[in-house]
Amino acid sequence: MDSENIRSWENAEVARSAGAAGRVDDETLKTPDSRIQRYMNPPLDTWHSLEYCFALLGDARGKVVLEYGCGDGVNTLLLALRGAKVIALDISPELIQVARKRLEANHIEGDVEFIVGSAHDIPLPDKSIDVVFGINILHHLDLRMSAEETWRILKGNGRAIFQEPVRNSSLIKLLRKMVPYRFAASGLDC
């Protein structure tokens, strides 16, 4: 994708994100302890995809973790509580502001730096990150460009952990047609 298309795409994402940030109720920023504990030390055999990402993260104490597309800071909070030095990157200044408020509401004073910037051109030095942690971000990006940036900033022994929704997967759509199932809440066959 050329740079003009990327800029147009990113501008649309900034506008969409500003709207999402404007709908966040400050009363919901305090995270219940039960939710926090769920992600502090989850087992590797968990069926829940976000728990699994945090299980893969392992001991984050002392590691520099880039949260790739931090959004409103839900995972920033958890990464900070796990002891990581968090660099939280998002293209939306409004969502970064919500993320800052979330940390304040939860009395988090950990080592967190927020950066408003493009995931296609990460403003960090080469080989400076231990872990890139991206939840539901890749489907918003040009994959070739984001892969190049991820490799550029990762240390030699660094790793990337990504979790993505599969609702638009061609394989999942095909399997759904082949294997009918009953949607329990409605009694409808899907």
Interatomic CA distance for residues 190 and 184, integer angstroms: 10
Which CA distances in Å does 37 have to 7, 40, 55, 78? Answer: 39, 5, 12, 9
Containing domain of residue 59, as a range? Answer: 3-189
Strands 188-189 and 129-135, by their bridges, are unpaired
Long-range pairs for 30-36 at CB < 8 Å and ≥24 separation? 30/105, 30/106, 31/74, 31/77, 31/102, 31/106, 36/77, 36/78, 36/81
C-alpha 174, offset from chain centre: 27
Task: State pTM to two decimals.
Answer: 0.84
Phi and psi, residue 99, nearest 5°: -60, -40
CATH of the domain at 41: 3.40.50.150
Total domains present in the chain: 1
| pLDDT tens digits along 157-187 | 999 999 988 656 677 667 667 765 444 443 4
Listed in sequence order, the residues at least 6 apart from 148 whose beta carbon sits closer than 8 Å to its beta carbon are: none
Mean of the per-residue pLDDT values for the chain?
88
Q: What is the pLDDT of residue 167?
A: 59
Asked if residue 75 lies in contact with residue 69, where contact means CB atoms within 8 angstroms, the answer is: no
Q: What is the pLDDT of residue 13?
A: 87
Q: What is the pLDDT of residue 142?
A: 87
| pLDDT tens digits along 52-108 | 999 999 999 999 999 999 999 999 999 999 999 999 999 999 999 999 999 999 999
| pLDDT tens digits along 105-154 | 999 987 999 999 999 999 999 999 999 999 999 888 888 899 999 999 99
Q: What is the pLDDT of residue 149?
A: 95
Angle between helices 93-105 and 3-22 (to 10 degrees): 40
Which CA distances in Å does 122 have to 106, 116, 125? Answer: 28, 10, 9
Q: What is the pLDDT of residue 172?
A: 61
